[in-house]
C-alpha cells in the first residue's frame, strides 16, 4: 500500500507540472498585448516597452515559466493588471469558496436524489417505475442548464418569491442565510448532474444484480432491499465515484452559466471577466488553481477504489 501511494504521489507531481506548464503556455500565447491592456491605446512605444520589461515579457518564455512556477510554489500568483491591482491569490481565494460550495452542494443534492432513484429503477427493471424514471432523466438531460436555471428563477424566485435571485451571503457571515441563497443555484447544478448519475448507477446496478454472489444471496432468501443496499450498491459505485470526481473538478471552474444567472462572485465569473479585460496573471492563477483541484480530486478518487472493492487492492499488490 505504501509503495502504491508513493507511485501515485510521483505521478501526481508529474501531472501537476505538466498542468502548470500547459496553463502558463495557454495564457502566454493568448492574442493581444498585455501592455496595451494595462495602459490603453494612444501611448508611446517606449511606454509600452517599459511595461513589458516590468512584466518580464521581454525574456525567454521558459525562463518566465520557471520564475512564475517558483513564485506559485511559494503562494505568489502575481498581481492583477486591472485596477485596483490586487494580489491574484487574494482575488482567487475570495472567489473559490463560492464555486466550491455551489459545486459541492449541487453534487450532494444530485447524489441524494440519484442513488435512491437508480436503486428503485434497477430493482424494477423493465417495469413501469423503471420506464418512468428513465423518461424523466431523459427529459432532464434534454433541457440546457441555462434554461433550467431560468425556469427555476421564473417559478421559485420571480413567481413564488421563495428564494432570492441575485444575492449572496458568505457562509462565515450567516450559515443559514448562505444556504438559503445557495439553494437555487445549487439545484440548477444538481439537475445538470442528476440524470447522468442516475443512468450510470442504474446500469451498473443491473450488471451487479446478475452476479453469482447476488444470485446466491437471493437463493438463500435474503431480503431484496438488504441485497440491494449492502451487497450491490458499493461494487456498483465505481463509475459513479469516477464521474463524481470528474464533475467536482469540472464544476468548480464551469459554473459560469449558473454564476451569471444568479450574479454570484465565483471562479467562473472571475476567469471570464479577467479574460475579457486582458488580465492574464489573474487568468493564469485562477485556471492553475482549478486544474490543481481537479487533478488532486481525481487522484483521491483513484485511491478510493481499493475501499469500494477489495479486489482492486489485490490487483495492485
In a domain, 15, yes or no: yes
In a domain, 81, yes or no: no
Spatial distance between the Cα atoms of 170 and 182, rounded to a whole number of angstroms: 10
User: Is 205 exposed, middle or buried (CB count within 10 Å of its CB: 0-12, 13-18, 19+)?
Assistant: buried
Higher-confidence residue: 197 or 213?
197
In a domain, 299, yes or no: yes
pLDDT digits (tens, 9 = 90+) for 235-264: 777 778 778 877 876 777 667 778 878 888
Any idea what the CATH number is for the domain that residue 159 is in? 1.10.3720.10
Q: Which residues pair with 87 in a beta bridge?
A: 79
In a domain, 285, yes or no: yes
In a domain, 58, yes or no: yes
278: three-class secondary structure by DSSP: coil
Please give the average per-residue pLDDT across 38-65, as a whole number: 72
> Same structural domain for residues 178 and 299?
yes
Contact 11, 303 (CB under 8 A): no
pLDDT of residue 32: 63
In a domain, 88, yes or no: no
Contact 269, 98 (CB under 8 A): no
pLDDT of residue 309: 55
pLDDT digits (tens, 9 = 90+) for 190-210: 887 888 899 888 888 888 887
> Same structural domain for residues 49 and 179?
no
> Same structural domain for residues 53 and 190?
no
Instruction: Please check the confidence at residue 46 and state whether its pLDDT lies above 80.
Output: no
Helix residue ranges per DSSP H, the chain = 2-28, 34-39, 45-55, 61-73, 88-123, 128-141, 145-152, 175-208, 212-219, 224-226, 238-254, 256-261, 267-277, 280-308, 310-315
> Same structural domain for residues 271 and 222?
yes
Spatial distance between the Cα atoms of 286 and 257, rounded to a whole number of angstroms: 17
Q: Residue 166, CB half-sphere, CA atoms under 13 Å: how many?
A: 6
79: three-class secondary structure by DSSP: strand
Most trustworthy range by pLDDT among 7-11, 155-159, 197-201, 298-302: 197-201
> Same structural domain for residues 175 and 132?
yes
> Same structural domain for residues 48 and 184?
no
> Same structural domain for residues 238 and 138?
yes
Higher-confidence residue: 69 or 298?
69
> Same structural domain for residues 7 and 133?
no
Task: Give every CB contact of residue 164 below 8 A, 6+ residues apart in sequence.
Answer: 157, 180, 181
Q: Which residue has the cell 464533475?
A: 247
Number of other CB atoms surrounding residue 130 within 10 Å: 17
> Same structural domain for residues 225 and 297?
yes
Can the peptide bond before residue 287 be classed as cis, meaning omega within 30 degrees of 0?
no
pLDDT of residue 316: 47
Q: How many domains does the chain have?
A: 2
In a domain, 84, yes or no: no
Q: How confident is the model at residue 315 (pLDDT cuts 50, 70, 90)?
A: very low
> Same structural domain for residues 305 and 174?
yes
Higher-confidence residue: 233 or 5?
233
Q: How confident is the model at residue 267 (pLDDT cuts 50, 70, 90)?
A: confident
Least confident of 151-155, 198-202, 209-213: 209-213
In a domain, 116, yes or no: yes
> Same structural domain for residues 49 and 122?
no
Task: Please identify, among 45, 73, 101, the residue that sits at the C-terminal boundary of a domain.
Answer: 73
> Same structural domain for residues 283 and 250?
yes
pLDDT digits (tens, 9 = 90+) for 82-121: 777 788 888 888 888 888 888 889 889 999 999 999 888 8
- Domain of residue 29, residue span: 2-73
pLDDT of residue 113: 92
Number of other CB atoms surrounding residue 43 within 10 Å: 14
Amino acid at each position: 500500500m505504501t509503495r502504491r501511494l508513493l507511485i501515485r504521489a510521483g505521478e501526481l507531481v508529474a501531472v501537476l507540472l505538466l498542468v502548470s506548464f500547459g496553463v502558463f503556455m495557454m495564457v502566454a500565447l493568448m492574442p493581444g498585448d498585455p501592455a496595451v491592456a494595462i495602459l490603453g491605446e494612444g501611448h508611446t512605444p517606449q511606454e509600452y516597452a517599459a511595461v513589458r520589461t516590468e512584466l518580464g515579457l521581454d525574456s525567454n518564455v521558459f525562463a518566465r515559466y520557471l520564475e512564475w512556477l517558483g513564485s506559485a510554489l511559494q503562494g505568489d500568483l502575481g498581481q492583477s493588471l486591472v485596477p485596483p491591482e490586487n494580489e491574484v491569490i487574494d482575488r482567487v481565494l475570495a472567489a473559490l469558496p463560492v464555486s466550491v460550495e455551489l459545486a459541492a452542494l449541487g453534487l450532494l443534492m444530485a447524489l441524494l436524489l440519484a442513488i435512491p432513484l437508480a436503486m428503485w429503477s434497477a430493482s424494477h427493471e423493465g417495469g413501469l417505475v423503471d420506464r418512468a424514471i428513465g423518461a424523466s432523466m431523459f427529459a432532464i438531460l434534454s433541457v440546457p442548464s441555462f434554461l433550467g436555471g431560468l425556469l427555476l428563477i421564473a417559478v421559485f424566485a420571480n413567481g413564488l418569491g421563495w428564494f432570492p435571485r441575485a444575492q449572496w451571503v458568505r457562509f462565515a457571515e450567516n450559515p443559514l442565510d448562505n444556504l438559503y441563497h445557495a439553494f437555487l443555484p445549487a439545484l440548477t447544478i444538481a439537475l445538470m448532474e442528476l440524470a447522468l448519475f442516475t443512468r450510470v448507477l442504474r446500469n451498473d446496478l443491473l450488471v451487479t444484480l446478475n452476479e453469482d454472489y447476488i444470485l446466491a444471496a437471493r437463493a438463500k432468501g435474503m431480503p431484496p432491499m438488504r441485497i440491494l443496499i449492502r451487497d450491490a450498491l458499493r461494487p456498483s459505485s465505481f463509475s459513479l465515484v469516477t464521474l463524481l470526481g470528474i464533475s467536482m473538478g469540472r464544476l468548480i471552474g464551469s459554473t459560469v452559466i449558473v454564476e451569471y444567472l444568479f450574479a454570484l462572485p465565483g471562479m467562473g465569473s472571475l476567469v471570464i471577466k479577467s479574460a475579457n479585460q486582458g488580465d492574464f496573471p489573474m487568468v493564469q492563477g485562477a485556471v492553475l488553481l482549478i486544474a490543481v483541484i481537479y487533478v488532486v480530486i481525481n487522484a483521491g478518487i483513484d485511491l478510493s477504489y481499493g475501499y469500494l472493492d477489495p479486489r482492486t487492492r489485490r490487483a495492485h499488490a
